[in-house]
Amino acid sequence: MAAKPLMVQGTGSHVGKSVLVAAFCRIFSDDGFEVAPFKAQNMALNSFVTRAGHEIGRAQAVQALAARKEPTVEMNPILLKPTSDVGAQVVFLGKPIGNMTAREYHEFKPKALAAIKRCYEKLAAENDIIVIEGAGSPAEINLKANDIVNMTVAKLFNAPVLLVGDIDRGGVFAWLLGTLELLEPDERELVRGFIINKFRGDLSLLESGLEFLERRTGKPVLGVVPYFRFKIHEEDSVALEDRRGGNDGEIKIDVIMLPHVSNFTDFDALEKEPDVSLRYVSIDESLRADADAIILPGTKNTIYDLLSLRQNGLAAQILRAHERGKFIVGICGGFQMLGRLVVDESGVESAVERAEGLSLLDAITFFDTEKTTHQVIAVSNLPFYDGRVEGYEIHMGRTLSKEQNAFTIIKRSADDVLVPDGAFSACVLGTYIHGIFDNHDFRRAFINYLRQRRGLEPLRSGETWSLEVEFEQLATVVRRSLQIDKIYEILDVNQR
């Protein structure tokens, strides 16, 4: 029998849709169902590479793991990666097919919708429940005519919709009522209940508002989820705004929030370490003078972000920090910036053909039209770590370096290889491998290396940060907060 769908839509971006879908995936899996996540179209710079070498949204990969499933391209058939204010790279069925303007993408949508149907049907044939995530708001009047991710998907698969509002931002009742009011009658009919997310305080003080919402709409409030700070990977860089201050810890690490920052989830595991104070630094802010390490993360527009670093004075701060012996790390686009030159003569990412790098590594990057996407296993050539790391590559540049290689890749997807990666020189490290800090032993070796440079004693490996622990905590909180029995009724599934 085909799977039963359940769709989570929101009153806007960053209201918690991705995290709640992950929670539902784990809850339904815990209850003995085969479940999979699905998002027809995702616009995000946080991405993941499947075992088959397909690029999908990072959020859908995490949701798949919550469902105890291997991430596949069917879970996110279309990924849009903004390269400018008016265009995006279109990743179709896991592979980039070029950059498109909004108008060009609208013309492409019939082909996109056909692929969405095929992918959903494949998942539906293999599972009991599909948890579908919407995008932004379903009530954007200027976007509804070309929608292929919100109510179009709900109607296509006859999916009951749970509408989520973020009370922490204020105005949640107006958001929920306004969203419902702007929907067409058949769309309103699909909305089967509300979830209020990110609540702080005494729940009894909210009861009058909940009763009003139910009376006014005739739809139930299925629960109120408390505000929590679990490290479930988020897809929107706006999530970083909640994490700007930096936690306590002897070792201070600054991560630069580039204008086109991508895969910022690379550093979630570092943030969990008790002796690390990790801080996200905006392009117009200053680095901490006492930072032990500075990290340049990935970016979807290396040259533009490199020029922005120079224009805002942050490039000069990085160079001064290097002169003072601070450790500098670059991942993917950040690695490219650390070299002498970045060349993009084919206009893969930018209209600017070349830009001088920070020259902290003797390396030159050339952009290719073909994207490299692989899960990888690599051995370290670094002085502070002699083990292996697992991660993934997502890049359209190749870097020629005269420095010592940071890693040697020994497995790319299913192939045994010997491919040099990255560069290391004195206190500068660059690599194309995302997810290196998710490797517990490498992460602890890196932090202990910074401790040693500060004259501090190394710490032994403590408890390993685990997404599994986060999933179970998340599922417990959400199950306790929602009327799960009513959600099963909405699904028309007998609770096991």
Active site residues: 332, 434
| Bridge pairing between strands 428-431 and 327-331 | parallel
* Strand residue runs (E) in 332-458: 341-343, 354-356, 363-380, 388-401, 407-412, 415-421, 423-425, 428-431, 433-434
Amino acid at 361: L
Taking the C-alpha atoms of residue 32 and residue 445, their distance in angstroms, rounded to an integer, is 39
Side-chain half-sphere CA neighbours of 345 within 13 A:
3
Closest to 120 (Cα-Cα) out of 163, 162, 161, 153: 153
DSSP 240: G
In the chain, count of helices (H) and strands (E)? Answer: 14, 27
CB 418 within 8 A of CB 446: no
CB 79 within 8 A of CB 54: no
Taking the C-alpha atoms of residue 295 and residue 116, their distance in angstroms, rounded to an integer, is 37
Q: Provide the 10 A C-beta neighbour count for residue 415.
A: 10
Taking the C-alpha atoms of residue 490 and residue 482, their distance in angstroms, rounded to an integer, is 13
Burial 480-496 (b: 16+ CB within 10 A, else e): ebbebeebbebbebeee
